[in-house]
Amino acid sequence: MGIDLEEIRERFACKGQDVRSYAPLTLAYLGDAVYELLVRSVLVSEADVQVHRLHLRATSYVSAAAQAQLIRAILPELTQEELGYYRRGRNAKPHSVPKNAVVADYRAATGLEALCGYWYLTGQTGRLLALIKMGIEEIDPQRKGKNGT
């Protein structure tokens, strides 16, 4: 993904932590940033357009509804361990739910974000990219066959 966790830990003298010890909302917090970086990286690499247009395109992938649709598309591909991290995130009790989001979608999106955090922290960027690409192609059929996503 371009940002190497081991290099971050080394340069900032951060100690590693067992991924199983992270709270689900902590995994989701990190996973939200990982997923957002992935989407923004793809969109920016496709075309040099106005930031406002990039933002509008990005929101079609990062909204709770889009993330819920994406996780539903990839659920059959998840391992039992991955399903566990997804469920932990989905079942976590958020402090609030945005007014423009359906609660079920928001919870599913939080589960996806927790899963992205898990993949990132465990160095499984190949798995992260493959499954997110698959999910994005399901929610946006125009993306099928594109090399980027």
| pLDDT bracket for residue 104 (50, 70, 90) | very high
Considering just the CA atoms, what is the radius of gyration of the chain in Å? 15
Residue 91 CA, chain-centre distance (Å), reads 16
User: Is there a catalytic annotation at residue 105?
Assistant: no
Residue 25 CA, chain-centre distance (Å), reads 13
Rounded alpha-carbon distances, angstroms, from residue 46 to 29, 104, 149: 27, 32, 10
The residue annotated as part of the active site, out of 18, 32, 48, 140, is: 32
Superfamily (CATH) of domain 5-143? Ribonuclease III domain (1.10.1520.10)
pLDDT at position 101:
84
| pLDDT bracket for residue 149 (50, 70, 90) | very low
Rounded alpha-carbon distances, angstroms, from residue 14 to 3, 17, 106, 107, 128: 15, 9, 31, 30, 23
User: What are the extents of the domains in the chain?
Assistant: 5-143
Residue with tokens 């007014």: 99
